Amino acid sequence: MSKSSSKRPSKSISKSKSQPSAFAQQDPNEAPTIAKPMVRVVAILYDGMLILALLFLVGTILTVVGTLLTMETGTESSQAQSLPLWYQNAIMTPSFVLTLVAFYGIFWRRGGQTLGMQTWRLKTINDAGQWLTWGQSFKRILAACLMPLLFGIIGSLIDGSRAALLASAFLGLVFNYVFCLFNPRGLAVQDMLSNTITLKMPKVAHEGLWRGFRNRKKKS
């Protein structure tokens, strides 16, 4: 099998009437290829700026709410202490996770691509050639976090400093995409664990994010 053919999604990908296919506008002479690791990382950096802004907004709102709920009336800012640990672990952390899941889930379910992925003509689909469901989106996010978590634990055991933890987690994130170079099909760790795939779409098949939103809404 040639290298070019191994980089293309299987022709046996099924098309369901209940969910639109990711290849609805594909030219028969063109075919999407599995996205290369570098372009995927660049797309993540694009999305990362928007995600950080969303997390900052959510964190600010929760901090204000938490301060109102946990601080006594009349407490001045100079007297205010940090939010209780239970509030941080039970309210803020799950809210950050839900924000991340909602960000990717909404975009992946509607058009298979986030804003950063649209810039580089990337689309994420499941192994049936359809947009991801909420469950598949959540599974893919968990799969993407697995290696950073494992690397972070190892780094924390070797050196208990916060810097070592963050550096090790970052190496785990890098490992997800370095793995593409050694996988015969060019899949990342999260692709394999969640049975999904990220494709580089040809220009003729690139629907665009907002058009994909509108088409998905009409079909639903």
Q: Which tens digits make up the pLDDT trace of 196-213?
A: 999 999 876 555 555 555
3-state secondary structure 92-107: HHHHHHHHHHHHHHHH
Instruction: Indicate if the pLDDT at residue 53 is higher than 60.
Output: yes
- Residue 67 pLDDT grade (very low, low, confident, very high; cuts 50, 70, 90): confident
Confidence of residue 110 (pLDDT cuts 50, 70, 90): confident
Beta-carbon contacts of residue 162 (< 8 Å; ≥ 6 apart):
none
Long-range CB pairs of 91-95, under 8 A, 24+ apart, other chains included: 91/62, 91/66, 92/59, 92/62, 92/63, 92/66, 95/58, 95/62
159 — pLDDT class (breaks 50, 70, 90): confident
pLDDT given for residue 123 in this prediction:
94
pLDDT, average across residues 86-99: 89
The number of helices, as runs of H, and strands, as runs of E, in the chain is 9, 3
* Residue 142 β-bridge partners: none
Q: Counting beta carbons within 10 angstroms of the beta carbon of residue 115, is it exposed (0 to 12), middle (13 to 18) or buried (19 or more)?
A: middle
pLDDT of residue 4: 45
Quote the pTM value.
Answer: 0.72
Taking the C-alpha atoms of residue 24 and residue 41, their distance in angstroms, rounded to an integer, is: 26
For residue 22, the model assigns a pLDDT of: 57
Residues 6 or more apart whose Cβ sits within 8 Å of residue 74: none
Phi first, then psi, for residue 113 (nearest 5°) are: -150, 145
Neighbours of 86 (CB within 10 A): 9
Beta-bridge partner residues of 123: 199
Lowest-pLDDT range of 68-72, 151-155, 175-179, 205-209: 205-209
User: 15 vs 214, which has greater pLDDT?
Assistant: 214
- The per-residue pLDDT for 2 is 45
Note the pLDDT tens digit of each residue in 121-131. 999 999 888 99
Q: What is the pLDDT of residue 57?
A: 95
- Is the pLDDT at 156 greater than 60? The verdict is yes
96 and 23 in contact (C-beta within 8 Å)?
A: no
Helix, strand, coil tally for the chain in percent (to 5)? 60, 5, 30
